[in-house]
Structure 1
Amino acid sequence: MTVSLQQLQTFRAVVRNQSFSLAAKELFTSQPHVSNQIRSLEQHYRVALFSRSKGKIDLTEAGAALYAKVNVIVEELQDAERIVGDFRGLRRGSIRIAATSSFGNHLLPGVIADFQQQRPDITVLAQVANTDRVWEMLDNDEAELAITTEQPPKTRRLTAEPFVADGLVLVAPVGWELPDPVTPEVFAELPLVLREEGSLTLTVLRRLLGDHEPTVAAQLTGTAAVNEAVAAGVGISLVPESSVDAWQRAATIAVHRWADLELHHDYVLVHASSRFQSAATSALLTHLRAWADERRRRGPFDS
């Protein structure tokens, strides 16, 4: 028997989802078909690729070794498709880009809109995810590019380049009287709306507070939820500057100065180190770099 690309892609999907049924959904096929594909692979290699117990599946040692090779094989074949497509003069295409929430929800939509005005022939598929999921998407060829606030782990075959900064600002409900500037002592005494654990904004906020214990009014997932709570009068918070424009225009959130400090997120632009870049991906990379250059020229805190 010859191992087929379809069998390898099925094997990869089962590992990624840790489930035969979820792999079948991802591949738009039936669970019995997925099971048959895996069974054929195991018969071909004469080893068990998965251990199965109590409804849970795990890779065997042989399965883990195969998975490492399969990822390389599939990536090489997909790169070959892109290379041949570019040699044919393929101008149309799609690009998948992943971003963490602050950039993905507030800055990326405008960047994509500008790009697609220039290149309506290229479709950009964007997904907002947490940092771990972003790395996974790049590893699994689910995204060609990513924008995050963290450098990729050294264990991954990813390249990062400095991108842009986004200011962090102190926000409060309109009408609240706050001193200018706000000090850590004052900040700790006011009701505070926090981001979820793992958020870089939460890490920065805790560093600013130092030994001061905050008065926590709420802890919410995502910048949008935090801004909603601040606008509703729940408390104050620290959020990316790019997220507050609409709230300021609606006069529901006021921006205050934090103890004479300029705070910001530093974003990085990430892509796979060894993967071939299609013409469409190269076009978006060029646009992103030009956009970042213009934003740096204006300054990270310009609106």
Structure 2
Amino acid sequence: MNFEHLKVFYTAAKQKNFSKTAKILHLSQPSVSSQIQQLEESLNVKLFKRTTKKIDLTQAGEILFQSAEKILNLVSQTEREIAQFSGSIHGELIIGASVTIGEHILPYVLGLYKKQYPNVQIIMKIYNSEQIIKKLSNGEIQLAFIQSDISYPQFCQRPFLEDELVVITPYEWSHSILNDKNYFISQKELFSAPIILRESGSGTRRVIEEQLKRNNLDPDQLNIVLELENTESIKSAVESGMGISIISKVAVLKELRLKTLRQLSIQGIPLKRKFFTIYDDKKLTLPGETFLSFIYSYYKENLGGAKP
């Protein structure tokens, strides 16, 4: 029995779709079909019942699926132990990160990790939080980094850093919000000012809406003039005078220092959140394990980390 064929079979059995399997394993669909066919021929049984819309396991396929999971887990554990023994950690690490984390939090730490583990190939993809969880579920990424505190009981979920959201305005702005030159915006002013926000489904947007609801405020009443999927676009729109926004403070440190944007807090509403790592511990590779350990240690030593 070919081990690579077994991996393809196991993925296809979980996805029930050859095209999704091909995408996850970075193969062509004909290659997936061919490897499944070769495995069936070597075992002299049919493993899948094929229809036009999906594939289902045959009875023989069900038996192989149960054994395949045990075999793949055992091989993965063996590879971990050998790599730790030899002192050589290598392989591919595919990370999915939400916009704020992927653009402003992880790049520097990834660089430090790469210096310590040069044989690990790192790929980071940026999506919103909902997309990331879907890709983690279907195996397209190994580690998820998001800013939503929604519970995902099917995965391990752990905070690694605390973040503060702030209201940003153009530094020089004639709006009445800045007339008294203070560092706060009232709840009434927040709802009257034109506001630019991330798209629905983003972790930042969800935190804002949840915090407003906890303070008996209706987020649907915000005067949203523009929705954007990119943090840099939001900052540019605010700088142009189009409106205000609520954004991670770590994403605007440069603009605050250069005085192109001004930071305000909402009176009576603290906007703090935790950044989380989310993963399936049964499928975590050695590069994934070492990166988690690395990032927890780094933020604990340098920024205090996040309390569970």
| TM-score under structure 1 length normalisation | 0.77
Of 193, 196, 205, the residue aligned with 2:196 is 193
Of 164, 170, 175, the residue aligned with 1:173 is 170
Q: CA deviation at 1:241?
A: 0.9
Once the two structures are superposed, the pairs formed by residues 75-94 of structure 1 within 5 Å of their partners are: 75-91=73-89
Q: CA deviation at 1:49?
A: 2.2
CA separation of 1:204/1:131 partners in 2, compared to 1, >3 Å: closer, same or farther? Answer: closer
Of 210, 218, 230, the residue aligned with 1:211 is 218
**Structure 2 counterpart of 1:228:** 236
Question: Is 1:290 paired with 2:297?
Answer: yes
| TM-score under structure 2 length normalisation | 0.76
Deviations 1:227-270 (A, max 9, x none): 23222322211111111123334443221121144312212233
Q: CA deviation at 1:222?
A: 3.3
Report how many residues are paired: 293
In terms of mean alpha carbon deviation, does 177-186 or 25-34 score higher?
25-34
CA separation of 1:175/1:143 partners in 2, compared to 1, >3 Å: closer, same or farther? Answer: same
In terms of mean alpha carbon deviation, does 250-259 or 125-134 score higher?
125-134
CA separation of 1:17/1:246 partners in 2, compared to 1, >3 Å: closer, same or farther? Answer: farther
Q: CA deviation at 1:162?
A: 2.7
Equivalent pair of 1:75/1:141 in contact (CA under 8 Å) = no
Q: CA deviation at 1:64?
A: 7.7
**Structure 1 counterpart of 2:271:** 263
Once the two structures are superposed, the pairs formed by residues 25-104 of structure 1 within 5 Å of their partners are: 31-40=29-38, 44=43, 46=45, 49-53=48-52, 56-59=53-56, 70-71=68-69, 73-91=71-89, 95-104=93-102
Question: Is 1:244 paired with 2:252?
Answer: yes
Equivalent pair of 1:94/1:124 in contact (CA under 8 Å) = yes
Identity of aligned residues (%): 24
Equivalent pair of 1:83/1:276 in contact (CA under 8 Å) = no
Alpha-carbon separation, structure 1, partners of 2:37 and 2:113: 46
Alpha-carbon separation, structure 1, partners of 2:251 and 2:5: 45
In terms of mean alpha carbon deviation, does 195-204 or 17-26 score higher?
17-26
Alpha-carbon separation, structure 1, partners of 2:144 and 2:109: 13
Alpha-carbon separation, structure 2, partners of 1:192 and 1:261: 17
Secondary structure, in 3 states, of the residue corresponding to 2:54? strand
In terms of mean alpha carbon deviation, does 134-143 or 74-83 score higher?
134-143
CA separation of 1:206/1:186 partners in 2, compared to 1, >3 Å: closer, same or farther? Answer: same
Deviations 1:131-160 (A, max 9, x none): 355445555665554322335522x2x323
Q: CA deviation at 1:8?
A: 2.7
Equivalent pair of 2:136/2:279 in contact (CA under 8 Å) = yes
Alpha-carbon separation, structure 1, partners of 2:295 and 2:93: 13
CA separation of 1:264/1:33 partners in 2, compared to 1, >3 Å: closer, same or farther? Answer: same
Alpha-carbon separation, structure 1, partners of 2:305 and 2:151: 27
CA separation of 1:240/1:232 partners in 2, compared to 1, >3 Å: closer, same or farther? Answer: same
Q: CA deviation at 1:172?
A: 1.5
Of 149, 156, 160, the residue aligned with 2:157 is 160
Give the aligned residue type for 2:152.
Answer: P
Alpha-carbon separation, structure 1, partners of 2:246 and 2:71: 45
Give the aligned residue type for 2:157.
Answer: A
Give the aligned residue type for 1:4.
Answer: N
RMSD: 3.7
Question: Runs of 5+ in structure 1 lacking a partner?
Answer: none
Q: CA deviation at 1:281?
A: 4.5
Equivalent pair of 1:82/1:276 in contact (CA under 8 Å) = no
Alpha-carbon separation, structure 2, partners of 1:125 and 1:142: 11
Deviations 1:105-136 (A, max 9, x none): 21101222233345545544333234355445
**Structure 2 counterpart of 1:110:** 108
Equivalent pair of 2:89/2:117 in contact (CA under 8 Å) = no
Equivalent pair of 2:40/2:46 in contact (CA under 8 Å) = yes
Give the aligned residue type for 1:293.
Answer: K
CA separation of 1:137/1:214 partners in 2, compared to 1, >3 Å: closer, same or farther? Answer: closer
CA separation of 1:141/1:198 partners in 2, compared to 1, >3 Å: closer, same or farther? Answer: closer
Question: Runs of 5+ in structure 2 lacking a partner?
Answer: none
